[in-house]
Amino acid sequence: MVTQNSRNSFYLSRIRTIFRQGLVHPWPYRIVRLALAALFIYGSVTKLIDPKAFAATISAYDLVPEAFLPIVAIGLPLIETIAGLALVFDRPWGLHLITLLLALFVFVLGYGILGDLNIDCGCFGVEDLDKRAGLREAFYRDLVLIGIVAPYLYLSRRVRAAATVRDDGR
């Protein structure tokens, strides 16, 4: 006789196995990693095309002193490009850099929302979203990226490494 607990245990075990197999498989990891890399590289290129406009967007947040605006307006997109390329080439520090950038973006966007700033988020150029609503949309988008994508990338890397060690140890 099969009890409800044993049936639930079977289903949970099956779900766990499917989830683990999906993480170990290299293609979902590659797709997520390359999509995130493309997002960051695209965002950085749009900012580097017009650094003066991006500097004006940064200035509207009033977080960076005027003297450092040119450095930040060019440096931040360059760091985004480096982080995106690190993901393309599957460098582990790229994941750390992307996570750090996302945390920075969430902090800045949260500051803009709490300060009731009526400004552009500056995520993909200067005209990408509609002011205050755009800040909220970008804030939630970045939270989703941090909350789902980054842990998935870290977890899948760890699970794949453990599976490789198990396969090599036979």
pLDDT of 107: 94
Percent of the chain with pLDDT over 70: 78
pLDDT digits (tens, 9 = 90+) for 42-67: 999 999 999 998 998 899 898 999 99
Neighbours of 14 (CB within 10 A): 10
- 50 class by beta-carbon count within 10 Å (0-12 exposed, 13-18 middle, 19+ buried): middle
CA-closest candidate to residue 120, choices 30, 53, 65, 70: 53
- Whether the predicted pLDDT of 22 surpasses 90: no
CA distances (Å), 163 to each of 25, 26, 158, in order?
A: 10, 11, 9
pLDDT of 42: 94
How confident is residue 41, by pLDDT bands cut at 50, 70 and 90? very high
